[in-house]
Amino acid sequence: MKRNIPHEIEPLKALQEFTSARIAIGRVGTSIPLKQSLEFKLAHAHARDAVYSELDLNKLTTLLKHFELPILHLHSQVTDRRQYLQRPDLGRKLNHASIIQLQDYRADSDVAIMVVDGLSATAVNENTKGLLDALIPLLINGGFKLAPISLVEQGRVAIGDDIGHGLNARLSLILIGERPGLSAADSLGAYLTYNPKPGLTDESRNCVSNIRPKGLTYKKAAKKIFYLISEAFRRQLSGVELKDNAGLIEQS
C-alpha cells in the first residue's frame, strides 16, 4: 500500500540524497513523526557531548609521531571547560608555561600546524590524522619547511597567532573542532594566517570548513588548503584579500 506523503513534501524527497539537513521529514497532524523527533533529540545530545569532549592526547601524540616532527603539548589560559565556554578571550591566548615552551623551538619555518580542541574535540580526534596524511606530503613536496606540531587544549582559533609568532613561522595552520550542529558534531575546520602575530582578527584568516568523511573529504580538503597556503606565500597575505579560485582553475 502506497504511503500518503503530503504534496508539499514530495518534491523535496529527492534532495535528501544530497544533504543531511532535515528536509521532507513529514508530519503527523501538527507535529513531526516520532522517528524524526527522536533522531533530532539524539543529534542534539551528540552536539552537547561534542562540546564537552576532550582531546585524546595519548592517541593523537602516537598518531602524529608518524610525521617525524616534534610534538608540543600547549594550553590556553582557560582552566576548565566551563570557563572556556564563558570566556572566549582566555581561549585565544597561551598560558605562561606554553609561551616559555615555544622559546625552545623558535626557529625559522614556513608552516606551523596546530591541532586544537575548539568546540568539538571529537572532530579533532576522528579527523586530524586523515587530513594530515593527505596534507603534509603536499607541503613537504612543495618545499615548505614545517615547524613542530602543536597539540593545544582549550583553544580558540586566534591562539594560532600566539603559537605561530612564538615559533617564528611565516604561516600558521590551525585545525580545530567546529561548533557542532544538529547534522554534524564531528566537523573539523582549518584556518590559515600569513605572518601570524598577536592582535590579528578574523579578516586576516582563510577558512576551510566541514572537513569529515561525510563532508569535505580529506583529500579534497588537503588540496584546497595546500592551494591557499601556496597562494598566501606567493602573494604574501591571507584573509579577505586572498580568494579561493581553485575551483575556477580546475574548471577552466
**Is the Cβ–Cβ distance between 182 and 40 less than 8 Å?**
yes
Taking alpha carbons only, the member of 103, 251, 120 closest to residue 177 is: 120
> Is 225 contained in some domain?
yes
Asked whether residue 240 is assigned to any structural domain, the reply reads: yes
Say if 180 falls within a structural domain. yes
CA angle 124, 126, 128 (to 5 degrees): 55
CB under 8 Å to 213, separation ≥6 — which residues? Answer: 127, 130
As a whole number of angstroms, the distance between CA 165 and CA 62 comes to 26
- Residue 246 counted as domain residue: yes
Q: Is 165 helix (H, G, I), strand (E, B) or coil?
A: helix
Give the model's pLDDT for residue 31.
81
Task: Please report whether residue 9 resides in a domain.
Answer: no
Domains: count for the chain = 1
207's CB contacts (< 8 A; 6+ apart) are 189, 190, 191
Q: Please return the burial class of 160, using the count of CB atoms within 10 Å of its CB with bins 0-12, 13-18 and 19+.
A: buried
pLDDT in tens, 137-158: 999 999 999 999 999 999 999 9
Does residue 157 lie within any of the structural domains?
yes
pTM: 0.84
Q: Residue 73 sits in which domain range?
A: 57-251
Short-list 198, 185, 250, CA closest to 220 = 250
CATH code (residue 86): 3.40.50.11240
89: pLDDT strictly greater than 80: yes
- Write down the pLDDT at residue 252: 38
Please say whether the dihedral angle defined by the alpha carbons of residues 75, 123, 178 and 65, taken in this order, is positive or negative. positive
Mean predicted confidence (pLDDT) in 190-196: 97
Residues 30-68 have pLDDT tens digits of: 888 777 777 767 766 766 766 667 899 999 999 999 999
Is 27 inside any structural domain?
no
Alpha helices in 71-169 (DSSP H): 81-86, 88-91, 96-103, 121-141, 159-166
> Does a structural domain hold residue 163?
yes
Report the DSSP beta bridge partners of residue 169.
Answer: 109
- 119-129: per-residue pLDDT in tens? 999 999 999 99
Could you give the C-alpha distances from 59 to 10, 40, 55, 66, 181, in angstroms and in order?
46, 31, 9, 12, 25
What is the overall mean pLDDT for the chain?
A: 88
